[in-house]
Every structure is written in structure tokens, then in C-alpha cells.
Structure 1
Amino acid sequence: MSVLVGLIVMLGMLVIVPAGLLLAGVPGLDRIRRLWPAFAVPGAVSLWLPRGLPATALALCYALGTAALALHCLPRLVRRPAPLLSIRTAPAEIALLTALVTPSIAATALVAERSGHPLFGFGLGILALTVPHFHFAGFAAALVSGLVCRLVDSTAGRFAALSVPLGTLLVLIGYFAGDRTELAGAVVLTAGMWTVALLTWQTVRPAARDRATRLLLAISAAVLVLTMVLALSWALGEATGLPHPTLTWMAATHGVGNALGFALCSVLAWKRLRDRTDHEGRTA
């Protein structure tokens, strides 16, 4: 795993996921969130060890934490089906539950890559890039689309919250079904993320009361427009044979942009919005 990809993955493990769990507002996550460093720190250490048994064992620690997140969805679906029966609340619920599942996909790829064994026919290079992909295009994208949908009660908000999980699922299926399915997933995911960017710029950003929060939201929206163009160009090139960026170039542009410009700026901005709301509630 390259140094750049390792640093991006560390950001996802140690910052984006725990901050996102706090923002998600899903009941029952407090215990997992408090224990998260016990899973994420070993996973982060595994990134810098040579492939082998020690790195695999540490990656498995992280996989246990992500499995706990994914399993948290099951009782929520069984015991609390009401949100999924409401046209207005279902999209945000689906997006946030998707955010809880996607880190386990990343962790599965991490365990296989750290052990040095291909998984489902995918080489170690693809597995290494799958890890950051499902932390950011998976977890962070689904989380933010769900948060936007909660705040912006509109057709566009619901479209974003549904299309991001659908696009993520199609991209995952495309790993097995072929490049054209992956291209379809990239198109759907891009449509959803551009809608998130538009709603963030038009509705969420103006509602923020301080300049720093508005700036963070503006950066996250602008970066999404650019990074998803790169994602589309890569998927189109893979499916059609047209010239497109290399994976190394995608990691340095699309990957870094999504990690820092979109995911980090988004969670910082939404945390500021949450803190202000909590403060105003206590004051009232």
C-alpha cells in the first residue's frame, strides 16, 4: 500500500468514521463510538507493516469494529421498521444505514490485502484502493447525503439520499459484473453527489451562521463537482477504452480531494452545525 493511500485510509479510520458516527444520530452507536479507537488504531498500524500475519491480525481488529457497525443495522431494520415505511424519512434512513455497512466492505479488502492474498480474483492493488473508496465514496458520501436529506426536506434531498447508496451498490456489483455496471454506478453516484453539492451550496451553506462553517460547506460542495468529474472520466475510460486517468493519478486527485476537500470539510462543518444547535437548545 502506497504512503498516500495509507495516509488517506488513516484519515478515514481515525477521524471521518468516528466523527460521522457522532453526527449520524443513530441510537445505540454510543458504545461502538467510544470503543472505536480500540479497533481503528490497530487497523491504522496495520497499514504500515509488511504484509503478513501481524498486519493481518491488526487489520482483523479493525474488521471486528466495522462488523459491529454493520450488525447494528439488523435490529434497527427488524425492530424499527417505521422509518422505512415513510416516503419522507426512508431515504435518509437508507443513506445512514448504508454508511454503517460500507466500512465493513473496506475492512474486508484491508484484511485480504494485508494478508497478501487476492480476494474474489482482485489483485492486491485493487484491494488497496477499495479500502479508501468505501471509507469515502461509501461511508462519508452516504453519511453526508443522509444528513442533507434530514435538513433539506425536498424531492432533491430524497433523490440524493437514495442515489448515493444505489450508486455505491452498483459500483460494488460492477467489481464482479464488469466495467459497464461500474460505469452505471459511477453515473448514479455522481448524480447523487452533485445533488448533495447543489443542496449544500444553495440551502445548507446560507443557513450556517458563522463564516468558518459556510467556508467549509462551500469547499466541500465545490470539491465534489471536480472529483466526481474525475470519477466519471475514469469509469467511462474503463468501460469504453477511451483515454482516462491512471489509478495513481486518481488516488492523488480524486482520492485526496474527496478525503480532504469533501469528507473532512463536511464532517467539520456538520459538527459545527450540530454544536451550535445543541448550544442554542441548552440556552433555550
Structure 2
Amino acid sequence: MTVLVHAVVSLGMLVVVPLGLTLLPTRTTSTRWWFAFAIPGALALWLPRGPVSITFASTYLAGTLVLITLAGRHLLQHKAIRPREIALYTALATPSIAALALVAERSSYELFGFSLTVLTLTVAHFHFAGFAAALIAYLVSDRPGTTTTVAAISVPLGTGIVLLGFFVGDAVELAGAAVLTAGMWLVGWNLWRRSRQAGRATAALLISSASVLVVTMVLALIWALGHVIGTPYLPLEWMVATHGLANAVGFALCGVLAWRRLMEGVR
């Protein structure tokens, strides 16, 4: 399981996040600076726990803090906290949560009492349910409408409630999973609507990104519900191999690739 989680997180660090940064209004002329932080971060995943991996993980944490400064600069320039901006700022802030968990896990330190396994999964969760989900919720909300506005609010809200549930309890985490699922399904609906106006290759990416959410978010709900009322749910290893992998590749990677094509005018 650990190897698969590390592979998924590496995909997030080295592909999904830098591609995503090119789609945001905070982008610079190049995202090459990101790799100065992300490559050490990815290496930290594969090295044994110890001083070297801690140093590399801390380097990655520094890079994620740059994203927070970009969010702050955007806020000062635009002085707007509308639903769409909330999704944008969530996308830019959540990698730092992942990076902090990575530093703790590489240090063999059970941050806030969480096991090293939970911290490992937190690194993955906040790259995809955090950055990628909020990023795509932001992108689909470029067209005003009820579903896009609700998606832009509910994805960050659900992510925040899930995070709170880590500290408060499984019932709160279930509530967060429900809110996040609703938001993700709205994101998927809007991706599917975009696919009807896109060329064949772009439409295939958009439909793939939307379709996997139907199954993966049901799995997330079943997982959260099972921890509250004891109903059956998939073992952790299977959740990583299904929910985690499908969201990383099917939703996040296909979604950012599709949007890159849309922004470049490629049909």
C-alpha cells in the first residue's frame, strides 16, 4: 500500500500541482520554480525516514508556503472572497497541510497524535481532495450558475469539515464526506456539460474526470459511514487502490489535462 500511496503523491507533486498552477490567475510565466521544491519532496517519499528525508520534506513545505503567499497576494489585489475565490484559496492552501504531514511522517513524529499511516494518507488526501478538487471547482465556476457556485463553496467546505473530523470524530468526518461528495458530483456534472462543447480528445478527458467521481465518492461515503455505524466498507488497502488511485489519475490528472487543452484552445 505504501508504495502505491507514494506513487500517487509523487504524481500529485510532480505533475498535477505544476499543471494546475498554470491554470490559475496567480500563475507566473513559468512553473519551473515549483520543481525546485517538488523534486526534493518526491524524493523524501522514497528515502528512509531520517535527516535527509526530513530536509527534503521541509524543502517541499517551504514551496507550499509560497503558494499561500500567492493566495495572499491575489486577495490583496482583488479584495474579493466570493465562492470562486474561496475555492482558489483552498487550492493554494491545502498543499501546505499535506507538506506538514509529510515532514511529521518523515520525522516519525505522530503529529497531533495521528499514526504515521494516517499522516501518509493525509499527504495524499490534501493533494487531491484538497488541491485538485478545489482547483477544478474553481475552474468550472468561471461560468456563473447555481451548480458552479454551490460546487465552489461545498468542495472547500467539505474538505474543511473532513479535516475537522480528524480531530473531533468520525461523525463530523462523515458530515464532511457528504458535503464534499455533493460538491464533487456538482463539479463532475459541470465537467460533463463542458464535454459536450469540446473536441473528441478533450471531451474524453472531461468525461473521464467526471465519471470516476460517481464511484469514488460513493466509496468515500461508505468508508465514512462504516466508521460511524459499523456498516461494511473496503479495507484501507483497497480504498487506496480504488478511491485513491482513480481520483488521482481519473479525476485530477484527466481534469487538469482537459482544462489545459481548453485554455490553449485545443479542441
Quick check: TM above 0.5?
A: yes
Task: Give the equivalent residue in structure 2 for 1:80.
Answer: 78
Give, in angstroms, the shift of residue 31 of structure 1. Answer: 6.8
68-77 or 218-227: which moved more?
A: 68-77
1:97 aligns with 2:89: yes
Is 1:147 equivalent to 2:139 in the alignment?
yes
Amino acid in structure 2 at the alignment position of 1:52: G
102, 108, 125: which one pairs with 1:116? 108
Shift of 1:116: 0.9
1:194 corresponds to which residue? 185
Percent identity over the alignment is 56
Cα offsets for 1:177-227 (capped at 9, x unmatched) = 1111111100000000001111111x211121x200000001111101110
Map residues 236-247 of structure 1 onto 2, 5 A cutoff. Answer: 236-247=225-236
Does the Cα contact within 8 Å between 1:49 and 1:55 map onto a contact in 2?
yes
Mark the runs of 5 or more structure 2 residues left unpaired by the alignment.
Answer: none
Q: What does the per-residue CA deviation read over 1:54-107, in whole Å, with 9 as the maximum and x for residues that have no partner?
A: 1110000100000111132223333421x32xxxxx211110111000000000
Check conservation: 1:96, 1:142, Cα contact below 8 A: yes
Aligned length: 267
Taking the aligned partners of 1:76 and 1:4, their CA distance within structure 2 comes to 35
- TM-score, length-scaled by structure 2: 0.96
| Partner Cα distance (1:219, 1:31) in 2 | 29
- Preserved contact between residue 32 and residue 69 of structure 1 (Cα < 8 Å): no
**Is it true that 1:274 corresponds to 2:266 in the alignment?**
no
The question of whether the paired residues in 2 share the 8 Å contact of 1:14 and 1:37 is answered with yes
RMSD: 1.5
Q: Which residue of 1 aligns with 2:12?
A: 12
2:148 aligned partner, one-letter code: G
Displacement of 1:32: 7.9
Pairing 1:204–2:200 present: no
CA distance in 1, matches of 2:178, 2:10: 28
Amino acid across the alignment from 1:116: S
User: Could you list the runs of 5+ residues in structure 1 that have no partner in the other structure?
Assistant: 85-89, 280-284
Matches within 5 A, 1:51-66: 51-66=49-64
Cα offset, 1:25, TM superposition = 2.2
Q: Output the TM-score relative to the length of structure 1.
A: 0.91
Matched letter for residue 189 of structure 1:
L
Q: Is 1:216 matched up with 2:205?
A: yes
Show CA shifts across 1:130-173 (max 9, x none): 011000000000000110011x3101110001000000000011
